Structure 1
Amino acid sequence: MTRTTVTTENAPAPAAPLSQGIRKGGLLQVSGQLPLDPDTGETVGTTVAEQTAQALRNVTAVLKAGGAGLADVVMLRVYLTDPAHLAGMNEAYAAAVGEPFPARTTVYMRLPPGLLVEIDALAVLDD
């Protein structure tokens, strides 16, 4: 089974040695997406809700490039910088992802200044 790199101009280009996504067989792993505008590289929004929406748009763009969509996602991992942001993230997340929700893990970590959230995804495709 071949491992295929997934790339799209509709999500920010990685600034580190990683791929936007990797597909192997029916699995598609999307690397952590930050709330960056893919055209400018600038942070989108100052609230966790705004940044969550942008990070999920970036995740969705990579999923699409790999032949998947949010309905194929079985696991999302959300990285927040502050536990106080959980409610705002949950609200934006629920609106963007919709039911039935995939499994999810939320952890807290340090991100570069101004960034409040990062999200990665694991999708399973039928082929």
Structure 2
Amino acid sequence: MSNRTVPAPPQFASKFGYSQARRVGDFIAVSGTPARDAAGAVVGEGNAYAQARQALENVKRSVEALGGRMQHVVRTRIYLIDMAHVWDIGRAHLEFFGGIDPATSLIKVTGFFDPKILLEIDCDAMVVDE
């Protein structure tokens, strides 16, 4: 069975021992993903919609790097610090997943490692031949 990963940012991977995403066989798991750009800077500070879009772009990159597509996503989990942002986050989620409609959980948390981060999104996907 094949086993491939998308590496986590080095500053975290060496301290936590995890990958950003992992594929085993046809299953892909993507770790909690914040709104960071390629240099590691937070995108959309103070803007939940912008952060959700960036986080979902990052999720998409991880899924595709492991041979999947967004149509293969079967479950997302959205972790947010303020329920007042739920509709802004939902709008971004709909833009990526409308018509796919994965199972989704919405989880309120007290905060993240970086206080500029308003949310993280993770997902599970099953790669299928179409």
The structure 1 segments of at least 4 consecutive aligned residues displaced by more than 4 Å after TM superposition are none
Q: d(CA) in 1 for partners of 2:6 and 2:116?
A: 27
Residue of structure 2 equivalent to 1:43:
42
Q: What does residue range 24-39 of structure 1 map to in structure 2 within 5 Å?
A: 24-38=24-38
CA positional deviation for 1:91: 1.1
Letter in 2 for 1:99: G
* Aligned Cα root-mean-square deviation (Å): 1.6
5+ residue gaps, structure 1, are: none
Cα displacement (A) at 1:114: 1.1
SS in 2 for 1:20: strand
Structure 2 residue aligned with 1:86: 86
For residues 58 and 2 of structure 2, what CA distance do their matches in structure 1 show?
24
Distance 2:29 2:99 in 1: 21
Give the deviation of 1:126 after TM superposition.
2.1
Q: 1:15 to 1:106 in 2, by over 3 A?
A: farther
Counterpart residue number, 2:127: 125
* TM-score of the pair, normalised by structure 2: 0.86
Q: How many residues align?
A: 122
Tell me the equivalent position of 2:107: 107
Determine which structure has the larger helix proportion and give its number. 2
The residue type paired with residue 116 of structure 1 is L
Q: Percent of aligned positions with the same letter in both sequences?
A: 34
